[in-house]
Amino acid sequence: MTRKKIVAATGCPTGIAHTFMAAEALKIAAKKMGVDIKIETHGQVGIENNLTEEDIREADGVIVAADKNVDTDRFHGKRLIEVPVAQGIRKPEELITKIVNEEAPIHYVSGADMGGYGSSSVRKSSATGSRGSGKWVHSIYKDLMNGVSYMLPFVVGGGVLIALSFLFGIYSADPDHEQYNEFAAFLKKIGGLSFSLMVPILAAFIAESIAKRPGMVVGFIGGLLADQAGAGFLGGIIAGFIAGYTIILLQRLLKRMPKSLDGLKSIFLYPVLGIFLIGIVMTPLLIPVAGLNEGMTNFLASVQSSNPLILGIIVGAMSGFDMGGPFNKAAYLTGTALLAEGNLYFMAGVSAACIAPPLIIAFATVFFRKYFTKEEQNAGAVNFILGSTHITEGAIPFAAKNPLVVIPIIMLGSSIAAVLTYTFGVQVPAPHGGFLVLPVVTGAIQWVFSILVGSLVGAVLYGLYRKKLAGNKPVEE
């Protein structure tokens, strides 16, 4: 009997952890099931282990486990499964089984006339039935996360440089202040330039996910309009989706033009008409969206000072619930948006809540060592590094073994860390980096204390659970 062959692609918004965890899970499951698999990863450094035309032609099916845009046009005529990256981590055998048993639908490319920079399609559909509501939700989430994926390096790079400028003094970039330092001013200027591109890049790559390169151009302009009007992060999201679907509308309207004019559409009609239309559509929306953005910012600022307990519980629960998934990203992106508005408090709680989950696992594997396998102990040690650098996803393999018990424990630990952080009034000016940015944290000792308390409480609870699970007997190696 001929061995089945599958190709796959994995990708997550940050391109750091979920991408490679899903790839590894699929590899292990395929080996166990006697299936050949080649996996293309869409990480932060770009696409690695690219799938060739021969790989795709010889494959019995394709698995795309991604929360960002992955080109599926090339899989035309193949059985295709598209799922969130989390399913690639948690259900690899189930996904492979659907391909092997020929239960996955055959993928066909629709809307072949894109006319946009060599791209061949806009949206894809399957041969079996229409999209369910879940598919549409995932499609919208994937478009949003594609924007986030491209935005994050600008935010992190610029944010950390701005934070480093504070090492020379809070007013070190002000030429009229006695603390002025030329190098600090340079850091803040360059970092600020990178940070200022957050909203336009977000909008551009949301639109790019929907309508490829023609959408990216229009989305960038829509994002600039939103940013300049003070509509912020929310305005950028709205601009990105409007831009993407504006281009799709134009493609449908201009579809009957001769193929010989495809180049004209790409380089002239789509940019000119698209930019004109995004301006018309966004202009009346900017004032109410800017007001909504300002209202949300003021509300969160008031809550963090008046009721840190409630805010900490919400932020901690969201960050710990799916550890890098949609809820975690919502909290993180809100913190990033507020950071751009000059609010350094909110991100402090979000960072604490994101650092705690892997530390909970790490401390548990140390204090309750005999109730974990050797492999789990090694993975636990790695979580000290992951947690310290703000990479939450290291806790996922442990949580996936019994999510109904472990996830609430992680949510509790993250919430404690966030509540204490808000109570102490800690300020974190960098959007990422974990303990690497401690020198620029206002209230660094209190911040570390908050994270350690939350992590240790969670670790003890998780360790006691593992002890009970093992019946008070050491785990056999």
How many Cα atoms are found within 13 Å in the side-chain-facing hemisphere of 50? 6
Query: pLDDT > 70: what percent of the chain?
Result: 91
Predicted local distance difference test score (pLDDT) of residue 134: 57
Nearest CA to 146 out of 85, 210, 88, 103 is that of 210
The stretch 378-388 carries a mean pLDDT of: 85
Predicted local distance difference test score (pLDDT) of residue 153: 83
The stretch 170-190 carries a mean pLDDT of: 85
Q: Are 296 and 321 members of one domain?
A: no
State yes or no: is 12 an active-site residue: yes
Asked if the structure places residue 373 within a domain, the reply is yes
Predicted local distance difference test score (pLDDT) of residue 397: 78
Q: Are 321 and 411 members of one domain?
A: yes
In the listed set 280, 301, 322, which residue is the last one of a domain according to the structure?
Answer: 301
The stretch 239-262 carries a mean pLDDT of: 88
Q: Are 142 and 281 members of one domain?
A: yes
- Point out the least confidently predicted range of 55-59, 170-174, 273-277: 170-174
Kind of pairing between the strands at 5-11 and 124-126: unpaired
Asked if the structure places residue 118 within a domain, the reply is no
Q: Are 323 and 273 members of one domain?
A: no
Tokens standing for residue 217: 């151009």
Q: Which of 7, 9, 12, 221 is catalytic?
A: 12
Asked if the structure places residue 204 within a domain, the reply is yes
Specify the CATH number for the domain of residue 85: 3.40.50.2300
Q: Are 339 and 418 members of one domain?
A: yes
Asked if the structure places residue 275 within a domain, the reply is yes
Domain that holds residue 331: 307-469
Predicted local distance difference test score (pLDDT) of residue 163: 77
Asked if the structure places residue 103 within a domain, the reply is yes
Residue 304 has pLDDT above 70, yes or no: no
105 or 16, which is more confident? 105
Q: How confident is the model at residue 413 (pLDDT cuts 50, 70, 90)?
A: very high
Q: Are 98 and 155 members of one domain?
A: no
Predicted local distance difference test score (pLDDT) of residue 125: 43
Predicted local distance difference test score (pLDDT) of residue 418: 93
167 or 121, which is more confident? 167
63 or 166, which is more confident? 63
Predicted local distance difference test score (pLDDT) of residue 62: 93
Q: How confident is the model at residue 453 (pLDDT cuts 50, 70, 90)?
A: very high
Asked if the structure places residue 124 within a domain, the reply is no
Residue 308 has pLDDT above 60, yes or no: yes
pLDDT tens digit string along 352-366?
999 999 999 999 999
Q: Are 227 and 297 members of one domain?
A: yes
Distance CA 63, CA 37 (A): 10
Residue 114 has pLDDT above 50, yes or no: no
Residue 273 has pLDDT above 90, yes or no: yes
Residue 200 has pLDDT above 90, yes or no: yes
pLDDT tens digit string along 126-178?
433 334 455 677 788 888 888 888 887 888 788 778 878 877 877 788 888 88
Predicted local distance difference test score (pLDDT) of residue 343: 76
Residue 441 has pLDDT above 50, yes or no: yes
Asked if the structure places residue 115 within a domain, the reply is no
Beta bridge partners of 108: 125
Q: Is the CB of residue 393 less than 8 Å from the CB of residue 359?
A: no
Q: Are 339 and 291 members of one domain?
A: no
Q: Are 262 and 346 members of one domain?
A: no
The stretch 392-418 carries a mean pLDDT of: 86
Residue 121 has pLDDT above 70, yes or no: no
Query: pLDDT > 90: what percent of the chain?
Result: 30
Residue 38 has pLDDT above 90, yes or no: yes
Asked if the structure places residue 122 within a domain, the reply is no
Residue 123 has pLDDT above 60, yes or no: no
How many folded domains does the chain comprise?
3
* Averaged pLDDT of the chain: 83
